[in-house]
């Protein structure tokens, strides 16, 4: 499992280097996220939400800027930081902007992430955040469809059966054209989210920075 995750990580690091340094480098964007060379299509999938209801991702997010993130509630750093930053920024934005945004969290740890646990965890950041569950196999199929590496169990503690989950660290942003033009890696700051979200809501993802 560890080798599988390491191989995927190496692929993504290489891709990032090529995207930023290669001859096909896109123009500098006014957005502060990572501009995608070719927009990604919004995936068509259904999972179960924390109320036990079927959630059709395409249908339920139509007309919204949607931030899709795959992680788990026991994550020590990446997941809570992303969710906390998004929650804090959305609370400060104009309600007319924030109301056009949906944050969808898909667990990569269905063994431990129960619906109640996910709901409580998300509520600590923003009660509007949507939590989804499915088998790890089905979630990994969705991640590969999105363009992200599969999640893997990378460490187990024999004493208490605890473990960590290797998963993609970026939030994918889908705009109202049902495409992702940009993604946000771990380390994206609140001021960057606050700058980009209004642009995404207004459909200004292709503005070129004149700096």
Q: Is residue 11 part of a domain?
A: no
Q: Which is nearest to 17 in space by CA: 37, 40, 42?
A: 37
Q: Which is nearest to 48 in space by CA: 101, 150, 118?
A: 118
What's the pLDDT tens digit per position in 145-200? 999 999 998 766 666 667 899 999 999 999 999 999 999 999 999 999 999 999 99
pLDDT value of position 51: 97
Structure tokens at 204: 């200004």
* Number of domains comprising the chain: 1
Q: Is residue 8 part of a domain?
A: no
pLDDT value of position 205: 72
Q: Which residues are paired to 130 by β-bridges? A: 104
Q: Is residue 26 part of a domain?
A: no
Q: Is residue 118 part of a domain?
A: yes
Helices 78-92 and 190-201, packing angle to 10 deg: 60
> Parallel, antiparallel, or unpaired: how do β-strands 130-133 and 152-156 relate?
unpaired
More confident residue, 173 or 5: 173
What's the pLDDT tens digit per position in 38-90? 999 999 999 999 999 999 999 999 999 999 999 999 999 999 999 999 999 99
Cα torsion 97, 183, 66, 78: sign: negative
pLDDT value of position 1: 45
DSSP letter assigned to residue 124: T
Q: How large is the average pLDDT for residues 11-29?
A: 37
- DSSP of 64-110: SEEEEEEE-TT-SSHHHHHHHHHHHHHHHS-HHHHTTEEEEEEES-T
Distance, in Å, from the CA atom of 85 to the CA atom of 125, rounded to the nearest integer, reads 8
Structural domain for 78, as ranges: 33-201
CATH number at residue 146: 3.40.30.10
Q: Is residue 120 part of a domain?
A: yes
Q: Is residue 15 part of a domain?
A: no
Q: Is residue 48 part of a domain?
A: yes
Q: Is residue 16 part of a domain?
A: no
For the chain, give me the number of helices (H) and strands (E)?
Answer: 7, 10
Distance, in Å, from the CA atom of 46 to the CA atom of 60, rounded to the nearest integer, reads 10
């Amino acid at each position: 499992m560890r080798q599988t995750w390491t191989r995927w990580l190496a692929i993504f690091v290489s891709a990032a280097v090529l995207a930023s340094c290669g001859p096909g480098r896109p123009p500098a964007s006014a957005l502060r996220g990572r501009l995608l060379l070719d927009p990604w299509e919004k995936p068509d999938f259904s999972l179960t939400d924390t109320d036990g209801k079927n959630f059709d991702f395409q249908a339920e997010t139509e007309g919204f800027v949607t931030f899709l993130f795959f992680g788990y509630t026991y994550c020590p750093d990446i997941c809570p930081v992303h969710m906390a930053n998004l929650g804090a920024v959305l609370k400060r934005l104009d309600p007319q902007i924030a109301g056009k945004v949906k944050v969808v969290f898909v667990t990569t740890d269905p063994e431990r992430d129960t619906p109640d646990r996910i709901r409580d965890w998300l509520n600590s950041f923003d009660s509007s955040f949507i939590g989804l569950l499915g088998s790890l196999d089905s979630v990994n199929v969705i991640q590969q469809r999105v363009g992200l590496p599969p999640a893997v169990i990378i460490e187990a503690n024999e004493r208490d059966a605890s473990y960590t989950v290797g998963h993609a660290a970026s939030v994918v942003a889908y705009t109202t054209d049902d495409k992702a033009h940009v993604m946000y890696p771990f380390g994206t700051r609140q001021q960057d989210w606050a700058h980009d979200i209004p642009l995404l809501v207004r459909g200004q993802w292709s503005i070129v920075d004149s700096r």
